[in-house]
Structure 1
Amino acid sequence: MAAAHGRRRRVALPWPMRLRLCVFEAAIDATQRRDGSVNRFLFSLFDRRAPADPRPDAAGVSSTDITVDASRGLWARVFYSPLPSPRPVVVYFHGGGFTLFSAASRAYDALCRTLCVAAAAAVVVGEERTESERALDGVAPVLNARRSDLSWKAFLPVGADRNHPAAHVVTGDDDDAELNEAFPPAMVVVGGLDPLQDWDRRYAAMLRRKGKAARVVEFPEAIHAFYFFPEFLADDHRKLVGEIRAFVEECIASKQPTAQ
C-alpha cells in the first residue's frame, strides 16, 4: 500500500473524475447487504450497460453475446474484428471483486474493445456470479475496510475465514507447490497509488520464484483501475495499451516455429 512505503500520497485528480468516483463508491455502499449479497436491482440503476452490437464500431470491433448455461443464466460477450485467423484469444475477468458489474457494463465494454484492437485478438468476457449470488466453493477489496469485509463475505463459502486456500493466491517463500509447466508468461501492472500494489508485486515475485516469466510494468502515479479513465489519464492509458500490444506480440512470437 502507499502508506506502507513511509507516507501517504495523494493524487491530483480532475474534479469530474473525483465526482464519478464518489458516485461509484456511494453505489457500492448502498447496494451491498450485510450478508455479502448485492441488491442487483438497485445496483443496476448505477451500472450503465452497453448492448452487444454486431455492427463494427469506428475501430472495426463488433460484439455478440453467447449463452454458456441457460439454466443458470450464465453468458459471455465476445469482441472481434475482421482480422485473419488464427488469432489470439484474450479471456478477460472483469473487475468488481467477483460481486459487482457485468460483461455488459459500459466501462468494461469500452475496455474490451480497446484490448481487441491493441492485442489484435478476440476478447471473451463472461459473467462471474450466478443469479443465486452463490459464494465461491472454495475479492479484491473495494478499497476500504468495511467494503473489504463485505467483499470477503460475498466471496468465501459460508463459515470460511481468510485462511481458505482461495484467499491465498500469493503463497509464502517456503511453499513447495509447483505451477503447471504450461503456466504462461505474465504481465503484472502496478499502480503506484493503488492500495493493492504490494499484492501485485508479491504475485510477480511468486511467479519468478517458481521459475515463471513475469514482466512488471510500473505506473507510479496511477490509481486503482486507472485504465477506465482514458479521458483523464490519457498518457498512462496509452502506455498501458502499448505494453499490452508488445506483450501479446512477444508471446505469439515465442510460440512460432523456428526456421531451420
Structure 2
Amino acid sequence: MSPQIDSILWFLVSASSCYMTRKIMATLTSNLNLSPQHNALKDYLPHGSMVEEIQGLIRVHKDGFVERPQVVPCVTASALSPDLNNVTSRDMVIDSVTNTWARFYVPTSQHKLPLLVYFHGGGFCVGSAAWSCYHDFLGRLSSKVGCVIMSVNYRLAPENPLPVPYDDGLKALMWVKQQVLHQQHNSEWWSTKCNFSSVFLVGDSAGANIAYKVATRVSSCDDHGAALRPLNLKGLILIQPFFGGEVRTRSEKFMAQSKGSALNLAASDTYWRLALPYGANRDHPWCNPLVKLEDLKVLRTLVCISETDILRDRNLEFCEALVRAGKRVEYGVFGGVGHAFQILSKSRLSKSRTKEMMARVKSFMDL
C-alpha cells in the first residue's frame, strides 16, 4: 500500500478531532473485562432536570450527565445458548485508549470462512456488542450462515457524537488488516479460520449507517483495494439502515407504532439530535445520504427492510437512488415485522422472518 493512501486512511480515522464535541460526562466506565459499570460517585450527585430521554434507554440531564439504565442485560462472550456449541466466542481489545473492542464468533469448520465486520444498532447512543440480544443473534448468524463475525463495540453519542463511531468503525477494519499482516499470535484462534478475500461490512439500524460510511470512506481513497490489502471488501449488508431527512416519508408520517416499538419518530428525532454535530439538521449527509450519494464504486450491497418499520420508505428510496446511480444493489422487504425484529422480538413470525433474513444474507454472500 502506498504511503499516500495509508496516510489518507489514518487522517480519516482521526477526523473527529476537527469537529466541535459536546461537553457531556459519561456515566459508564469500563473495567478490564470489558463489562460496563456505573460510576457510583456521579450517580449520587445532583444533575438538574432531564432534557432528553428515549424509551428508558438513555437520559440526558441539564448539566450534560448521561444515564443509560441497563434495560438490556450484558453477557459475557462465553454465555452462548447450549444449541450453539459449535460456535466459539471471545472478546478482543482494538484500542485500549478509547476502550474500543470487539466480540468474535467463530463456528467450527474444516475450511476458511468469510469475515463479517458487524456494527450494532442503537441510534448511535445506546447498545453494546455485549447486549444479550445481539450475542444470541450473532451467534446464530455465525452458525447458520457459516462465517466468522467480528462485532465492534464503538463509542457512543452524545459523549462521542458523529463522526466518532465512523472513526471507530474504520479503525476496527484497519486493526483486522494489521492482525493479518503481522500475524499476531493472540489473534490466531480466529484469523486462521478466515478467508480474508471475502470480507463484508454489516450492521443493523445505526450500525448499518456506520457500515455504509466506513465503506464510503474506504472507497473515497482506495486504489483497486490497495488500502485494505490483504483484505478484500466483497460486499455491504445493511439491515434496516438508520437514515433520516428533514422531509418526512410516508411511512414516517403514517406508520402506526405500538408503545413498545423499537423505533418511533420521536425516538428517531432524539437520536439524531444527540448524535449529529452541534447545529446540524437531519439533512446532514451523515443522516441523509441522498443529499450527497457517496461513491461506493462497484461494492455490492444488500439492504434488508422491515414492512412495518417507520424507516421502510426511506430505505426503499435509498435503494432506488443506488440503482439510479448504477450501483449493484438488491433488497428484500420482510413482511409483517418492524424495526430490529431480528434482535428484539421473540414472536413466531419474527423468528420465521429472521430465518428468512439469514438465508438471504447467506445467498448474497455466496454469489
Q: Provide the alpha-carbon RMSD of the alignment.
A: 2.8
Task: Report deviation, 1:76.
Answer: 0.9
1:222 paired with 2:337, answer: yes
Task: Report deviation, 1:156.
Answer: 0.6
**Residue 92 of structure 2 corresponds to which residue in structure 1?**
66
Per mean C-alpha deviation after superposition, the further-off stretch among 55-64 and 71-80 is: 55-64
Question: Is the 2:54–2:270 Cα contact (8 Å) retained in structure 1?
Answer: no
**Residue 3 of structure 1 corresponds to which residue in structure 2?**
none
| CA shift in 2, pair 1:238/1:37, >3 Å | farther
| CA shift in 2, pair 1:205/1:37, >3 Å | farther
Q: For the residues of structure 2 that align with 1:51 and 1:88, how far apart are their CA atoms?
A: 24
**Residue 348 of structure 2 corresponds to which residue in structure 1?**
232
Q: For the residues of structure 1 that align with 2:91 and 2:337, how far apart are their CA atoms?
A: 32
Q: Give the unaligned 5+ runs of structure 1.
A: 1-25, 251-260
- The DSSP-based 3-state class of the residue aligned with 1:88 is strand
Which structure has greater strand proportion?
Answer: 2
Residue of 187, 212, 216 corresponding to 2:302: 187
Task: Report deviation, 1:243.
Answer: 1.4
What TM-score, normalized to structure 2?
0.53
Task: Report deviation, 1:85.
Answer: 4.3
Question: Residues 68-217 of structure 1: matches in 2 within 5 Å?
Answer: 68-130=94-156, 133-137=159-163, 140=242, 143-171=263-291, 179-183=295-299, 185-217=300-332
**Residue 361 of structure 2 corresponds to which residue in structure 1?**
244
**Residue 33 of structure 1 corresponds to which residue in structure 2?**
60
Question: Is the 1:91–1:123 Cα contact (8 Å) retained in structure 2?
Answer: yes
Task: Report deviation, 1:30.
Answer: 6.0
- The DSSP-based 3-state class of the residue aligned with 2:108 is coil
Per mean C-alpha deviation after superposition, the further-off stretch among 75-84 and 129-138 is: 129-138
Equivalent residue letter for 2:323? R
Question: Is the 1:230–1:237 Cα contact (8 Å) retained in structure 2?
Answer: no
Q: For the residues of structure 2 that align with 1:72 and 1:30, how far apart are their CA atoms?
A: 22
Question: Is the 1:52–1:63 Cα contact (8 Å) retained in structure 2?
Answer: yes
Q: For the residues of structure 2 that align with 1:27 and 1:147, how far apart are their CA atoms?
A: 6
Identity of aligned residues (%): 25
Q: What whole-Å deviation, never above 9, does each CA across 1:41-86 have from its counterpart, x for those lacking one?
A: xx22x12112012989533111111111111111111111122343
Per mean C-alpha deviation after superposition, the further-off stretch among 55-64 and 130-139 is: 130-139
Equivalent residue letter for 1:160? A
Per mean C-alpha deviation after superposition, the further-off stretch among 154-163 and 197-206 is: 154-163
Equivalent residue letter for 2:288? H
Runs of 4+ with deviation above 6 angstroms = none
Q: For the residues of structure 2 that align with 1:86 and 1:190, how far apart are their CA atoms?
A: 30
Q: For the residues of structure 1 that align with 2:275 and 2:145, how far apart are their CA atoms?
A: 31
Q: For the residues of structure 2 that align with 1:235 and 1:130, how far apart are their CA atoms?
A: 31
Question: Is the 2:124–2:157 Cα contact (8 Å) retained in structure 1?
Answer: no
Task: Report deviation, 1:137.
Answer: 3.3
Q: For the residues of structure 1 that align with 2:115 and 2:88, how far apart are their CA atoms?
A: 15
Q: What whole-Å deviation, never above 9, does each CA across 1:101-126 have from its counterpart, x for those lacking one?
A: 10000000111112112221101111
Q: For the residues of structure 1 that align with 2:81 and 2:88, how far apart are their CA atoms?
A: 5
Equivalent residue letter for 1:53? S
Q: Give the unaligned 5+ runs of structure 2.
A: 1-52, 165-205, 207-241, 245-261
Question: Is the 2:101–2:154 Cα contact (8 Å) retained in structure 1?
Answer: no
| CA shift in 2, pair 1:124/1:162, >3 Å | same
Question: Is the 2:125–2:158 Cα contact (8 Å) retained in structure 1?
Answer: no
Per mean C-alpha deviation after superposition, the further-off stretch among 158-167 and 74-83 is: 158-167
Question: Is the 1:188–1:217 Cα contact (8 Å) retained in structure 2?
Answer: yes
Question: Is the 2:116–2:148 Cα contact (8 Å) retained in structure 1?
Answer: yes
1:51 paired with 2:76, answer: yes
Question: Is the 1:56–1:62 Cα contact (8 Å) retained in structure 2?
Answer: no
Equivalent residue letter for 2:55? I
- The DSSP-based 3-state class of the residue aligned with 1:204 is helix
Equivalent residue letter for 1:32? R
| CA shift in 2, pair 1:37/1:118, >3 Å | farther
Question: Is the 1:72–1:131 Cα contact (8 Å) retained in structure 2?
Answer: no
What TM-score, normalized to structure 1?
0.73
